[in-house]
Amino acid sequence: MAAVSVQAKGTAPRRRRFTHWRYLFIPTALLLVFFVAPMILMVRMSVLRYPPNSTGGYTFAHYVNVLGDPIYRRIAVTTFMIATSAQVLMLAVGIPLAYIMAFKAGRWELILLLLLVLADELNPIVKIYAWRMLLGREGLINGFLMRAHLISQPVTWMLFGRFSVIITLATSWITYTTIPIYAAMKAIDPALFHAAEDLGAGWWTKARKILLPLAAPGIFIAMILVYIPMFTDFVTNNLVGGTNSYMLGNAVNDLILSTNNWGDGAALNFVLLVLSVVLSLIAYRLAKLNRIDV
């Protein structure tokens, strides 16, 4: 009797859980065909000796190439520096902007939100060309500085280098940084700031002890959405970057498309993927740690 009842208890929830697959069948199938299958092909490519042929057998040589080559380590450092700078820049703009939208904007709140969405809707190529016109050798900034006699030679480091890549990345992803932070802040009871002030807190204490800890889940979500995609970006560097802003995304791109080295390209890509997952998990864990149990 006991065994039967245990089994009955065990099957009931399993059957209930299984019914979800009815609704998830189509999305699951699509994911398998268009997402998991290419991924498996990519991973397979990275371990074939002569991809895409399997005649040469399997090897980890591509991983050894990619992880052993100091060039890739240097590129990884550059990528990390560029993505981190852009992220810090975005947080420096996004956190105050989100705060203003959530607590101070009043009837301007919706307008600011729409502008932010609109900024993302702009065609990225148009945006990038706008930066070129602004930052270039013959660009508006140089033109202004020359005419003002502040400089005698055009400043060249602004375009086709790390500076322009960081600026362009930061403006491309600002919407995705600001909106999750704004959403997290919107959930904070404004009375908490009054309470803190009543207890003697100035603006810096309020920001550090109340605003940032409570907005932290939004900040980490923003980082998952933004920081990781920046690691694999290659378009920005192709259009406004230069040799000192060559990123991991460019390396994968060039290995596969220019030098036909599919094995190394796939291996590097897989390393990037693992790195992204690790970063996501860290961010997710941090976000969860700060989640408030109400």
Partner 1 sequence: MKGTPMVQAAHADLDGEIALERVSKAFGRVVAVDDISITIPGGSFFSLLGPSGCGKTTTLRMIAGFETPDTGRMLLQGLDVTYVPPSKRNVNMVFQNYGLFPHMTVGENVAFGPKIKKWSRDETRERVAEVIRTVQLEGMEDRRPGQLSGGQQQRVALARALVNRPAALLLDEPLGALDLKLRKEMQLELKSLQQRTGTTFIYVTHDQEEAMTMSDRIAVMKGGVVEQLATPRELYQRPASAFVAGFIGTSNLITLRIDRIDAGCFVMDLGDGERIMAVDPGVGTSESEQTITVRPEWIKLAAAASPTGERATHVSATVVDVVYLGSVTQLIVELRTGERVTVHRLNDEVGAEDPRPGDRVALQWAAEHSFVIGAREDVS
- Name which of residues 212 to 271 contact partner 1 (CB under 8 A): 213-214
Q: Which of 100, 201, 273, 275 binds partner 1 (CB under 8 A)?
A: 201
Among 148, 199, 243, 258, binds partner 1 (CB under 8 A): 199
Alpha helices (H) along 100-152: 109-121, 124-135, 140-147
With CB under 8 A, what is the number of residues at the site for partner 1?
21
Q: Is 268 exposed, middle or buried (0-12, 13-18, 19+ CB in 10 A)?
A: buried
Nearer to partner 1, 2 or 294 (CB): 294
Figure out which of the listed residues 12, 32, 151, 195 binds partner 1, where binding follows CB under 8 A.
195
- Three-class secondary structure of residue 55 per DSSP: strand
Nearer to partner 1, 193 or 234 (CB): 193
Does position 198 interact with partner 1 (CB under 8 A)? The reply is yes
Asked if residues 250 and 234 have their Cβ atoms less than 8 Å apart, the reply is: yes
Residue 99 or 246: the one with the smaller Cβ distance to partner 1 is: 99
Taking residue 35's Cβ as centre, other Cβ atoms within 10 Å add up to 10
- Given the DSSP bridges, would you call strands 48-50 and 53-58 parallel, antiparallel or unpaired? antiparallel
| Residue selected from 59, 205, 276, 280 as contacting partner 1 according to rule CB under 8 A | 205
Among 14, 149, 202, 258, binds partner 1 (CB under 8 A): 202
Could you say which of 73, 74, 137, 194 contacts partner 1 (CB under 8 A)?
194
Using CA atoms, how far apart are residues 135 and 124, in angstroms rounded to an integer?
A: 16
The residue count for the chain: 294
Going from the C-alpha of 145 to that of each of 41, 59, 136, 195, 220, the distances in angstroms are 52, 56, 12, 48, 39
How many angstroms from the chain centroid is the CA of residue 210?
26
Q: Among residues 13, 27, 106, 200, which is the contact residue for partner 1, using CB under 8 A?
A: 200
Instruction: List residues binding partner 1 (CB under 8 A).
Output: 189, 191-192, 194-202, 205, 209-210, 213-214, 290, 292-294
